[in-house]
Structure 1
Amino acid sequence: MTAPLDAVERTALLTAALRAAETRRPDRIYQDPHADALCGDIGPDLLAEIRSATFPADSARTLPSTPDYNAIRTRYFDDYLQEAAREPGMHQIVLAPAGMDSRAYRLDWPEGLRYYEVDRPAVLAHKAERLGGVEPRTDHRTVAVDLTSPDWENDLIAAGYDPSLPSTWLLEGLLYYIPEQDTHRILERVAAISAPGSRIAADLVNSAALTLPEMRGLLDVFAGWGCPWLFGTDEPEALFDALGFSVEAVQPGEPGADFGRWPDPVPPRHVANVRRVFFIHGRRR
């Protein structure tokens, strides 16, 4: 048996449960045939809590629809990574953290690609156990290390990563849970081993999403699990620009980040005191 997952690590099981639920929908916007196995028994229980908070039986929904958001996020980054992998000279993809993601197993990848999954040892061990020998569709390499450790870059390089070559990074479902100082430090370290022309993508909330009263129901669920949301920014472009990345920020529901699924209005960027989520994508200068 693998070691039990801690509170933050268990959020990966929630994501897998969301992907399993999406796969069962007749109008699904992607398929993840491994999500059911990966979410185990805990994931559906976590998802049930989210659903109860988001879709109350006796009142209208005021929280963002986590199932629709996760579906859009997954499909958006599916497409982003597949596009990046087809780019000439792009032979390195890094998922940090990898969680219960199964893109290495469910999507087709070009030859010559190295696909790195970075996450804590307990997460990667749980994932390997749940997949039960399913073979990846690419040169798949795991790096069992915490992103807050002092030398995780050395572990990644030891696995074959070449900092002198372009790479594509995906930081999905990570930055919500990390204090601002640690967020800056992780992004600085990613930038330091990303050659010019490297690509990066991530998801972020804005600052108001951490404090608005109408978000309290969702925030309380995560805090109750022991993994409160800690970081958000209203200027994601500036955050990444300061570290040498030129990025764009797209909100779910905007063109290219909708897939017919976002159920709420998309507030213009100048409107204050509203919750937002950003999908960030761009390049290292």
Structure 2
Amino acid sequence: MSNQENGMPEEMKPWTELKLPDLLSSDAIRELHAAIESEWDSSRRSACQIAAGRALWKHAIHDPLAELFAGETYMRSIYEKIKKDRLNNAREISGVIVAVRTLWFDSKLEAALSSCGGGAAQVVLLGAGMDTRPYRLSCLKESSVFEVDYAEVLQVKTNILEAAANSKDEHQHPIMTAKSVRRVAADLTEDDWLEKLQMSGFEPKRNTVWVLEGILYYLSHSDAMKVLKIIADKCNLTRTVLLADFMNKQATTLSSSVFKFYSDWPDHLLPSLGFSDVKLSQIGDPDAHFGLLQDPLNLFNKLRNLPRSIQTHPDDGTPCCRLYLLQASGSPNQTIS
């Protein structure tokens, strides 16, 4: 999707008033979101927050199901933050990092599938949360997609999709764009998640794109390293592509009770595990911009202009909280450079 329409730069396009779909106020979906609020921990609820970000940045991301997965509470909360930011002429509008990150993963996934031969590749969404890629990306039309997450997350997701499918509003009906979607109830902190994935039809020797968006930093260091090593080991079997985001140490201080794993140099870490081709981007880089970060003085552009080794900003002493976007790949016939 073009980031400019009718010649108008994205950041100049008007933001519409919040209008929630009628289906979101139905008893079935209200009950599901009430259960999320009362029963899920912060890491699980973050899936709804991310969905709200995608929904509210609809001028950049086409995700018609995001509002239903977000729920009214998060839609209103993030909308108010966006409204306040725009009134204050903020350099960074709330949710922009979600929008850019989503578009980066979308574009890299499409490129990875192309490099793998399209239909020859499986796609695994680890910590899938309320991700809707199997319902909105045409590049998945020949791919088998596996969504791995906690059982209760996948069950709520399934229930919301069923409610949408049964609704009278045809605009909310989920239309699968992937060849197939299989939901795998598993905990990435347990040792059996790969076995459960394989029992669901995952083929270890088939070309695979692994998508780890917004998941690694919720894991402990040991658990995150186990997950990365399992994926890296697949490079010895078949063409393997990893798309993942990493926080640096400073970024984990934003919520020390939630964020655990970090890597200041993930582009050094991944080759040490077995990936032969690793590329790092930061929010605001040419491939992680999408016309949404025009102000040269916004936080992300300022961070990009500082050496990655600097931990506090020289202007105001604030922590240099970075989010790294990594694409890595490997295959049996490649050697680490």
Q: Which TM-score band applies after superposition, normalised by the shorter structure?
A: 0.7 to 0.9
Residues 11, 111 of structure 1: alpha-carbon distance in 2 compared, 3 angstrom cutoff? closer
Residue 183, structure 1, aligned to residue 224, structure 2: yes
Q: Which deviates further from its counterpart, 233-242 or 39-48?
A: 39-48
TM-score by length of 1: 0.83
Residues 50, 124 of structure 1: alpha-carbon distance in 2 compared, 3 angstrom cutoff? farther
| Residue ranges of structure 1 left out of the alignment (5+ in a row) | 212-218
Contact 1:72 1:252 in 2 (8 A): yes
Aligned AA (2:207): P
Residue 141, structure 1, aligned to residue 174, structure 2: no
State the partner residue of 2:46: 11
Aligned AA (1:199): V
CA displacement at 1:275 relative to structure 2: 2.4
Aligned AA (1:210): T
CA displacement at 1:187 relative to structure 2: 0.8
Contact 2:85 2:94 in 1 (8 A): no
Residue 71, structure 1, aligned to residue 113, structure 2: no
Residue 276, structure 1, aligned to residue 322, structure 2: yes
TM-score by length of 2: 0.71
Specify the SS of the correspondent of 2:328.
strand
**Is the radius of gyration larger for structure 1 or structure 2?**
2
State the partner residue of 1:163: 204
Q: Superposition pairs for residues 89-128 of structure 1, below 5 Å?
A: 90-109=120-139, 111-128=141-158
Pick the aligned partner of 2:57 from 15, 18, 22. Answer: 22
Following the alignment from structure 1 to structure 2, what is the Cα–Cα distance between the partners of residues 111 and 44?
A: 30
Specify the SS of the correspondent of 1:161.
coil
Q: Which deviates further from its counterpart, 269-278 or 42-51?
A: 42-51
What do you get for the CA RMSD once the two structures are aligned? 2.7
Following the alignment from structure 1 to structure 2, what is the Cα–Cα distance between the partners of residues 202 and 98?
A: 12
Give CA deviations for 1:87-141 in whole Å, capped at 9, x if unaligned.
Answer: 3164201110111011100121355421111111111111111122334222111
Aligned AA (1:255): P
Residues 271, 193 of structure 1: alpha-carbon distance in 2 compared, 3 angstrom cutoff? closer
CA displacement at 1:146 relative to structure 2: 1.0
Give CA deviations for 1:25-81 in whole Å, capped at 9, x if unaligned.
Answer: xxx2221111011111342255368769x9598x8969x654111111111111111
Residues 56, 32 of structure 1: alpha-carbon distance in 2 compared, 3 angstrom cutoff? closer
State the partner residue of 1:130: 160
Contact 2:246 2:263 in 1 (8 A): yes
Following the alignment from structure 1 to structure 2, what is the Cα–Cα distance between the partners of residues 275 and 109?
A: 32
Give CA deviations for 1:188-215 in whole Å, capped at 9, x if unaligned.
Answer: 122234534210011112122234xxxx
Contact 1:14 1:46 in 2 (8 A): no
State the partner residue of 1:214: none
CA displacement at 1:271 relative to structure 2: 5.3
Following the alignment from structure 2 to structure 1, what is the Cα–Cα distance between the partners of residues 310 and 233?
A: 34
